[in-house]
Amino acid sequence: MRRSILDIFLFLLVIISTAACNNDLPFDLKENPPKLVMNAIINADSTYNTLFLNLTGRNQIGQIKGATVEVRINGSLSETLRPDPHSSDKGRFYINSAFHPGDVVRIDAMTDDGEHHAWTEVTVPQPIGKIEKVDTASIMRKPSNYGYGTPPRRHLRYQIKIKDRPGEKNFYRIIVEQRKYWKYYWEQNDQTCWSSAMQKSFKLQTNEDVVLTDGKPSTEEDDENGLFGTVNNKYAIFDDSRFTDGSYTMNVYNDIYGWGFWGQEYIWIKTDVYIRILSITEKEYYYLRALNLLDSDAYDNTLSEPIAFPSNVNGGTGMVGFSTETNYMLTVKNNAVPPMVPDL
């Protein structure tokens, strides 16, 4: 998940280094005076979140020399932040406030030179409630994005049933985190030495689900044979327009067994899977939707119109998103682990 968030920030910084305006970020190369950039993807279920400040520029991102960040919850000052004095990165701020669904959060950022003051105000979304049901099945399937002719591999299919929050328009994101546990060994001085490792993965195949493809599901064969590129829902976002006030069972896949460790004799022990349904803000939904398009084969900047990226920062630019999470955990064990393998 951390890698995913960093990817989002990287895309945003590249885009805003070339252009900026009050409420939209057109993907072009117009000259603009430097503006303060405020970025954060905040998990309301955590008290450790990071906010980034930078300055826009034509060719590269500008670094700030110092700033103060104030966080207010429902009109009351929650914390005042300064950069870490021992760090060379003066644009990184750690938010430790506790947020709750329905909170109105305002974040102000002021540079020390008095040149810039940017702020945003976001209402923390309500969580979806419980994940009603998760069914799994082991199947053979072609991996996504492994190239033409890749043979099928063992995958786990998830059928995840969720219920929409009634009476309002909702925006969601699904994250499936795998934690794969391995034992591996090597021979040393005529002895067998054992060690353990854990791998994390967030890869998810969403192309066969109606909601996650916006009504345009496809198979891996369809993608290989298509004449034009398709927009892959890399950030696995969706809204409730196809199941308003009702329930929906989505179908997603991932490679549950993994590749192991090259050059080692390894044995897969188990995989813990954390299914997370995030309620996100509307602005964040459309921002991630634009990123999906920019990162797809379907977008050609020489033939397509510029992509407009939403911003919810006043007096500057950027994206500050809040999410609340509902999760479900399951464990997939390897029941064929040989008896000589030591316990984890």
**Given this model, what pLDDT does residue 229 score?**
59
Domain limits for position 284: 131-306+323-331
Say if residue 241 is in the same domain as residue 290.
yes
DSSP class per residue in 40-58: EEEETT-S-EEEEEEE--S
Say if residue 87 is in the same domain as residue 225.
no
Say if residue 301 is in the same domain as residue 242.
yes
Q: Are strands 317-333 and 36-43 parallel, antiparallel or unpaired?
A: parallel
DSSP class per residue in 88-154: S-TTEEEE-----TT-EEEEEEEETTSS-EEEEEEEPPPP-----EEEEEEEEEPPTTS-TTPPPEE
- Looking at every residue in the chain, the average pLDDT score rounds to 84
Say if residue 109 is in the same domain as residue 136.
no
Q: How many independent structural domains does the chain possess?
A: 2
Segment 132-136 shows an average pLDDT of: 95
Phi-psi region of 16 (alpha: psi -120 to 50; beta: other; left: phi over 0): alpha
Q: Is residue 339 part of a domain?
A: no
Q: Is residue 291 part of a domain?
A: yes
Q: State percent of the chain over pLDDT 70.
A: 79
Say if residue 142 is in the same domain as residue 107.
no
Q: Are 37 and 56 in contact (CB under 8 A)?
A: yes
**Given this model, what pLDDT does residue 202 score?**
92
- Of the listed ranges 23-37, 154-168, 287-301, 318-332, the least confidently predicted one is 23-37
For the stretch 241-280, pLDDT in tens is 999 999 999 999 998 765 555 555 778 888 999 999 999 9
Q: Of 100, 122, 144, which residue is a domain's last?
A: 122
Q: Is residue 235 part of a domain?
A: yes
Say if residue 180 is in the same domain as residue 272.
yes
In this structure, what CATH number is given to the domain that contains residue 78?
Answer: 2.60.40
Q: Is residue 187 part of a domain?
A: yes
Say if residue 164 is in the same domain as residue 278.
yes
Say if residue 210 is in the same domain as residue 95.
no
Predicted confidence band at 4 (pLDDT cuts at 50, 70, 90)?
Answer: low
DSSP class per residue in 231-289: ---TT-EEESTTSTTSEEEEEEEE-SS----TTSEEEEEEEEEEEEEEEE-HHHHHHHH
Q: Does residue 174 or residue 226 have the better pLDDT?
A: 174
Say if residue 201 is in the same domain as residue 163.
yes
Mapped onto helix, strand or coil, the DSSP state of residue 80 is strand
Q: Is residue 18 part of a domain?
A: no
Q: Is residue 13 part of a domain?
A: no
- Of the listed ranges 80-84, 188-192, 259-263, 322-326, the least confidently predicted one is 259-263
Q: Of 96, 122, 148, which residue is a domain's last?
A: 122
Q: Is residue 163 part of a domain?
A: yes
Smallest Cα–Cα separation from 34: which of 12, 50, 18, 56? Answer: 56
Segment 229-241 shows an average pLDDT of: 88
Say if residue 157 is in the same domain as residue 300.
yes
Say if residue 184 is in the same domain as residue 286.
yes
Segment 38-57 shows an average pLDDT of: 94
Q: Is residue 165 part of a domain?
A: yes
Q: Of 72, 93, 122, which residue is a domain's last?
A: 122
Say if residue 55 is in the same domain as residue 163.
no
**Given this model, what pLDDT does residue 27 score?**
45
Q: Does residue 66 or residue 239 have the better pLDDT?
A: 239
